[in-house]
Amino acid sequence: MKEITVEELQTIKNPVIIDIRASIEFKDGAIPGAINIPLFTDEEREEIGTIYKHEGQEAAKWRAMEFVSPKIPSLLHEIKAEMVNGEELIIHCWRGGMRSKAVVTFLEFAGIHAKRLTGGYKAYRQYILQQIPAMIPKNAIVLHGLTGVGKTEVLKKLKASGYPTLDLEEMAAHRGSIFGTIGLGEGNNQKTFDSLLYKGLKDILGSTHFVMEAESKRIGKACQPEELMDKKLRGINIYIHTPLEQRVKHLINEYVLPYQNEPWYHDQISIGIEKILRRIKDNEIKRVLIQSLENSNFQVMIGILLEHYYDPRYDHATLEYHGQFIHVYAENFVEASIKVMTEIDKLIEKKKFVIEGQV
């Protein structure tokens, strides 16, 4: 049986990775790009585990065989259908044990060449956690700006233009403010965040610098590694300024218009407002905020939130940054993107970035 290590997997340009773990395991954390074709359903996996615990390994193996046997033809067809999309077929489970061995054996009997990932997903996770700290480029360019200036959009335009970026909010599937996971699902857990961070760092490997937003250590359910936090706090800072009216318009376009008619929208916004109301002391502001929510007057609501809640808190957070600040003034995020690119190009021309091995 042919095997492949996690290190060797990194050298394959376009592998087809089949994760045969149960869907509950896959959801908890997976290799980016892997396709989940479960050998057992969540319920079958649970039953096998219970039998193993109470009746032993032999009884558990027998029950597993009863579950798998009828599925083999359809399982192989599913895997074969995915093979057209890549160079090499890789099969893995949790620890590279019996499940992946069995599936690779089935494939071999069917004349399909596949390799088993040694150590499975567990080995992959251990590997990326060891690799991530050393992969972070030396110099961080950190985008700052009050809520609604469009930092995420600027970051995406930078990436599209070829600048090395790390979109940590996208990796965490969580955005700041009360809007949090609106339109992004439940948010990613730490395992998924780490996998996406590793992939993101791999994409910019070799760069002397990278661009990121000024995120706090915790983003939704995930935390940044200490090494990334250190680079961020000692980086070069670009502070984006746009008018308040434009910021309100931007937030309405991004968080209100696409979702306001969804049945869950009002409740989700209400929960966020309730948390903020506990922290606002001015009763008149509280009253107007509640009224604007009741009337679905999101323009007024967002304006109040920015002026009386988010803006006063934001500038205090910038005090922890040690590097220089460059200020960019723009009417909108499109103009801001162009100006930020200009500032980064100036930094590159002036050789402001530390290169590995140089002081």
Both tokens of residue 248?
A: 């309100």
We report the CATH number of the domain holding residue 189 as: 3.40.50
The C-alpha atoms of residue 41 and residue 188 are separated, in whole angstroms, by 22
Q: pLDDT tens digits for 315-337?
A: 777 778 887 899 999 999 999 99
Helices (H), 29-164: 42-55, 57-68, 72-82, 98-109, 120-135, 151-160
Q: How confident is the model at residue 357 (pLDDT cuts 50, 70, 90)?
A: very low
> Does residue 84 form part of some domain?
yes
pLDDT tens profile 9-68? 999 988 999 999 999 999 999 999 999 999 999 999 999 999 999 999 999 999 999 999
Closest by CA position to 333, among listed 115, 148, 206, 186: 148
pLDDT reported for residue 310: 87
Neighbours of 106 (CB within 10 A): 20
Number of domains in the chain: 2
At residue 186, the pLDDT reads 75
* Token pair in block for residue 348: 């590159």
The domain that contains 103 carries what CATH number?
3.40.250.10
67: buried, middle or exposed (CB in 10 Å: 19+, 13-18, 0-12)? middle
What is the band of 274 on the pLDDT scale with cuts at 50, 70, 90?
confident
Contacts of 139 (CB under 8 A, 6+ apart): 208, 209, 210, 231, 235, 236, 352, 353, 354
Looking at 67, 100, 129, the residue that finishes a domain is 129
Q: Bridge-partner residues for 19, per DSSP?
A: 36, 92
Q: 112, 129, 146 — which closes off a domain? A: 129
- Let me know if residue 358 belongs to a domain: no
What burial letters (b/e) apply to 275-302, b meaning 16+ CB within 10 Å? ebeeeeeeeebbebbeebbeeeebeebb
Asked whether residue 357 is domain-assigned, the answer is: no
Report the C-alpha gap between 213 and 195 in whole angstroms: 19
pLDDT at 351: 74
Host domain of residue 216? 136-349
d(CA 143, CA 156): 12
Residues 238 and 110 grouped into a single domain: no
Asked if 103 and 153 sit in the same domain, the reply is no
Would you say residue 13 lies in a domain? yes
Residue 288: its H or E element: helix 283-294
Supply the pLDDT for residue 176: 66
Strands 139-145 and 236-241 come out as: parallel
Residue 202 inside a domain? The answer is: yes
pLDDT of res. 280: 86
* 12 and 151 inside one domain: no
Same domain as 184, residue 73:
no
User: Does pLDDT of 358 surpass 60?
Assistant: no
Band of pLDDT at residue 181, cut at 50, 70 and 90 = low
Q: What is the DSSP string of 317-342?
A: HGGG--S-EEEEE-SSHHHHHHHHHH
In angstroms, rounded to a whole number, what is the distance separating the alpha carbons of residues 98 and 314?
Answer: 52
Asked whether residue 284 carries a pLDDT value surpassing 50, the answer given is: yes
pLDDT, tens only, 61-120: 999 999 999 999 999 999 999 988 777 999 999 998 889 999 999 999 999 999 999 999
The most distant pair of C-alpha atoms in the chain lies apart, rounded to whole Å, by 74
Phi/psi for 245 (5° steps) reads -60, -40
User: How far apart are alpha carbons 76 and 85 in whole angstroms?
Assistant: 16
- Are 55 and 72 in the same domain? yes
- Domain assignment present for residue 355? The answer is no
**Eight-class DSSP state of 354:** P
The verdict on 148 and 53 lying in the same domain is no
Same domain, 120 and 174: no
Looking at residue 313, its pLDDT comes to 81
Closest-CA residue to 22 (of 4, 37, 5, 7): 37
Asked whether residue 109 falls in the same domain as residue 246, the answer is no
Q: What is the structure's pLDDT at 355?
A: 53
Same-domain check for residues 261 and 140: yes
